[in-house]
């Protein structure tokens, strides 16, 4: 029994319990089972973000190009892991320097700019395995010599599995003594670093594929540069006033 005489539902958060107690005790209503279906968040957790130097160190620690290239692309274009690994060669618009993300979260397509150096990296990587469809084909197990590796990748039936990059990031993070970050932290870092560099919030929203601007606004809480810029502007405005 709770302090208000209402039996608590297993799995309820404190916020849900308060709703149930208010309904039963203050409003004198019978226990309504809908409260057992309500789920609310007690806390909002900010995503882990790496500094630019930490991203540089992380990529530098990944020795194999077949892993470093997709990790670099995730950061340079703010991709989700699934969006990156499901890319095909037809999603690269080389002449336009654009990347087509198909059927992403929410079943939406989007087109985002592709940095010139990243495009060059992708071309070099594909020229190694030359898979007829996948940009990041499954490596599989077997002979690690370049020729055998390329042949196995060229005939792969599936793209690289998520776990390959997820495990690698965990190992690299521990070796570099980085914060508790994941492969998805590179996407968060991309958005935060763009915001720090002066990119408009709505531009970042389109790049990330967020339907609602509220999803993008979380990065306002992750950047110190934005706060510093505002403070400098406020100092400038104040400094020009009569004293």
Of 68, 129, 187, 193, which is the active-site residue?
187
The sheet carrying 110-113 orders its strands as 92-93, 98-101, 110-113
What is the DSSP-derived secondary structure letter of residue 242?
-
Active site residue 90: no
Active site residue 210: yes
Of 80, 102, 110, 154, which is the active-site residue?
80
Of 39, 52, 56, 105, which is the active-site residue?
105
What is the DSSP-derived secondary structure letter of residue 44?
-
Active site residue 219: yes
Active site residue 187: yes
Residues 6+ apart with CB under 8 A from 186: 50, 55, 71, 74, 75
Written as one string, the DSSP assignment of 120-157 is: HHHHHHHHHH--SSBSSB---SS--SHHHHHHHHHT-S
Active site residue 144: no
Active site residue 105: yes
- Annotated catalytic residues are 80, 105, 184, 187, 210, 219
């Amino acid at each position: 029994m709770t302090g208000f005489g209402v039996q608590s539902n297993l799995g309820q958060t404190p916020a849900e319990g308060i709703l149930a107690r208010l309904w039963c005790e203050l409003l004198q209503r019978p226990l309504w089972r809908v409260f057992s279906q309500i789920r609310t968040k007690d806390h909002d957790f900010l995503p882990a973000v790496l500094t630019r130097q930490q991203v540089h160190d992380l990529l530098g620690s990944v020795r194999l190009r077949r892993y470093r290239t997709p990790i670099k692309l995730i950061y340079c274009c703010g991709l989700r892991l699934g969006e990156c690994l499901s890319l095909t060669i037809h999603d690269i618009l080389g002449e336009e320097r654009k990347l087509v993300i198909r059927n992403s979260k929410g079943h939406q397509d989007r087109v985002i700019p592709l940095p010139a150096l990243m495009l060059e990296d992708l071309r070099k990587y594909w020229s190694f395995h030359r898979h007829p469809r996948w940009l990041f084909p499954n490596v599989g197990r077997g002979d690690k010599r370049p020729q055998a590796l390329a042949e196995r990748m060229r005939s792969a039936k599936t793209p690289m599995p998520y776990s390959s990059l997820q495990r690698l990031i965990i190992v690299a993070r521990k070796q570099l003594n980085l914060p508790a970050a994941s492969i998805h932290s590179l996407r968060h870092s991309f958005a935060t670093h763009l915001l720090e560099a002066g990119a408009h919030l709505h531009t970042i929203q389109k790049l990330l594929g967020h339907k609602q601007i509220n999803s993008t606004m979380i990065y306002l809480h992750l950047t110190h540069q934005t706060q510093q810029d505002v403070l400098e502007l406020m100092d400038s405005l104040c400094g020009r006033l009569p004293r």
